[in-house]
Structure 1
């Protein structure tokens, strides 16, 4: 059986698909992954056939957009990028998929795959990697940049979210999508967050104890748990320099602001000053140049990337942007998290971590050395938080959503 996987986004969106593709290939499937061009090397290391969507320059220009990292404006920037890949995705599937010969697995914003399902009738599984992508009147997700009082009833927060569909998401996404659908004689999409769910199967790759299932989730949705896929990233092992640093002293504080972030300089400058205030060692993870101060004290090390499954168990806490893949790796390591959300699902993940007792959150404006140091002291000095993190680590031992997701895919294919 042929399996076509389409993933659009950054590391947190694409790495789970590389892991799915590798497991499906191990099971004897003929697998091809389509993703933005910068992920070609990772796909090659996993032994996967790869189709580049766009160019590396396209992706770099997208990630460098200043408005991408603003809670509401980022929606328009993101959908301009996704929309540009809708037609190439559709054309690739139309040229390669044959009836009865394969199945398509697509990330939420791989809109071309969903168009191909409507036009060609191909079997499609939609994969939502974060809880924010699933609507619910009972447990609506936190919206980026719109802090709502906890006392608001869920139905009111859901109603406000529907307003975001009408006034923000729809205007950003639907004109280009419906224009392309018109060329295929397909009717227009009215509401993206309803249409993007495949009617056949939706996979939710996050744990049910992290985001409990809701009665109004789609009937075709199956929750499979977190896909821990960090070993498919830029490197698979800790570098000798990083291993030596970890061996040389107490476990450090780890800081990252995501793989695509181009405007994290202030975050990492605050990280250095926070470590000095606390008298602790620090590790700065930033793959992009110009993010980290050029002169670092000896107790601070900068590395572009490290596999979190090997690194985080040797750290004392993780301070980060709030991406769901990073959240899952810290839960598996059993360490507290301090989230400084930027955009997209970061605010929702931060809220869940705080509610479940795994960490804390600070806004970017409040992320100062004094406040960050105070929060980190509180996290590391609160037995209930440390116990909750330890329990999460125990719960995630042996838990990996990749095999469960592939089992669900096999059911659809059959």
Structure 2
């Protein structure tokens, strides 16, 4: 017995990228044990097997084009305005297809009572509004939400400052971001088909791609210096299970008396991985008492035997963070939300080399919070100098404080509160 007249149907909609899908699945996973809920995940084909192994029902989009979303996201070089526009245009062509598919599924009788959508899954909110379905936005990158009165993001990692000149700078930056979005949207509007009347901003000025009902920020408020987020945003902390498990025969690679250093740049930054490996080679030569573990972020290679590039340098196709971070002493990473937050949780001091997307803004927050050291020029000389500073530093008291605070969040409790509020139920 559920205590309700019917089971509550929830569709979880996300792009099939680990940094988006996995934190949302981690948040929602406790609902699998609650008989009052029926959870279905809608995502790309590449993650269908993993989603079903976790225990969710899964509906895979574009089975005839299984890598269509990955092909858009994984660019061969660092982002620039042209690449960003090309990605935006390619995504805009997919949006009507996703909407049509969701419309077909829901029209055939599988309409959910509520939708939980990753923040870049814009079709989910658009069609939910048309069906009158309440929806929740999950966002592991809260800096993506447009600033309204504070220092803007996505401009290379601006720091907040006091003074009239900086207020003027921030105002110009905010205006530039908004104008850029409007121009890009105008160029792709015709691709949206029946949704050409979609507006980027609501009458109250909030962005229409995020839920007007509930936004769950998968992050820590303590890292944020902004105070202009939507009123219905709630901070739930960051927790992301890898779900993949480290193969048993890989565990012996972490049995060592040396200091252990994880080197990663996530899954998307294919153009950075060769340079990452070369830097690790140089560091391994200079630090023979440290063991360096480089991961290329290729989940399909989880079971592959690592390559030993040097006595103290191992190259893995993929390492699941959940299973290894408790064995790591230092990390070198790109300020992706997942690895940055996981390093905070595990009290791992980090050398941070932001590369793209929201990473520059994440790096600023990490630096101000004193949880890592940032290399901005990213030259070999700078990386070597800062790594020496990282390993010599003994006072990481702020990192320890934030690690403790990260464990105080109650994401499941907040999720139930929001579900009850939106569904008007006592859960």
| TM-score, structure 2 as length reference | 0.84
Cα separation, partners in 2 of 1:408 and 1:71, compared to 1, 3 Å: farther
Is 1:338 the equivalent of 2:351? Answer: yes
Aligned partner of 1:13 among 9, 17, 20: 20
Is 1:45 the equivalent of 2:58? Answer: no
Partner of 1:115: 126
C-alpha displacement of 1:71: 4.8
Structure 1 segment 234-249 matched on structure 2, within 5 A: 235-236=244-245, 238-249=246-257
C-alpha displacement of 1:80: 3.2
Is 1:199 the equivalent of 2:201? Answer: no
Write out per-residue CA displacement over residues 310-335 of structure 1, whole angstroms, 9 at most, x where no aligned residue: 31221121111111111111101101
Partner of 2:363: 350
C-alpha displacement of 1:21: 3.6
The DSSP-based 3-state class of the residue aligned with 1:296 is strand
Partner of 2:281: 272
Count of residues in correspondence between the two structures: 400
Q: Which runs of 5+ in 1 are unaligned?
A: none
The DSSP-based 3-state class of the residue aligned with 2:211 is coil
Cα separation, partners in 2 of 1:253 and 1:9, compared to 1, 3 Å: same
Structure 1 segment 223-242 matched on structure 2, within 5 A: 223-226=235-238, 228-232=239-243, 235-236=244-245, 238-242=246-250
In 1: Cα distance, 2:201 partner to 2:168 partner: 18
Partner of 1:283: 293
C-alpha displacement of 1:390: 2.0
Partner of 2:4: none
Write out per-residue CA displacement over residues 106-132 of structure 1, whole angstroms, 9 at most, x where no aligned residue: 112211112113322221112222121
Cα separation, partners in 2 of 1:273 and 1:91, compared to 1, 3 Å: same
| TM-score, structure 1 as length reference | 0.86
Write out per-residue CA displacement over residues 207-260 of structure 1, whole angstroms, 9 at most, x where no aligned residue: 11122561x32122222111x22332xx22x33343212112323111111122
Is 1:66 the equivalent of 2:79? Answer: no
* Contact 2:151/2:158 (<8 A) preserved: no
In 1: Cα distance, 2:361 partner to 2:379 partner: 18
Write out per-residue CA displacement over residues 2-38 of structure 1, whole angstroms, 9 at most, x where no aligned residue: 1011112621111112223422222231111112221
Partner of 2:39: 31
Cα separation, partners in 2 of 1:225 and 1:178, compared to 1, 3 Å: farther
Partner of 2:102: 93
Between 341-350 and 151-160, report the one with greater CA deviation.
151-160
* Contact 1:331/1:389 (<8 A) preserved: yes
C-alpha displacement of 1:150: 4.7
Partner of 1:323: 336
| Aligned CA-pair RMSD | 2.9
Cα separation, partners in 2 of 1:139 and 1:381, compared to 1, 3 Å: farther
In 2: Cα distance, 1:21 partner to 1:77 partner: 32
Q: Which runs of 5+ in 2 are unaligned?
A: 1-7
Partner of 2:92: 83
Is 1:219 the equivalent of 2:231? Answer: yes
In 2: Cα distance, 1:27 partner to 1:174 partner: 44
Partner of 1:261: 269
The DSSP-based 3-state class of the residue aligned with 1:281 is strand
Write out per-residue CA displacement over residues 313-371 of structure 1, whole angstroms, 9 at most, x where no aligned residue: 211211111111111111011011122112111000000000111112223x5241x32
Query: Computing the radius of gyration over CA atoms, which structure comes out larger, 1 or 2?
Result: 2
Cα separation, partners in 2 of 1:146 and 1:59, compared to 1, 3 Å: same
Cα separation, partners in 2 of 1:86 and 1:100, compared to 1, 3 Å: closer
Cα separation, partners in 2 of 1:108 and 1:378, compared to 1, 3 Å: same
Cα separation, partners in 2 of 1:173 and 1:7, compared to 1, 3 Å: farther
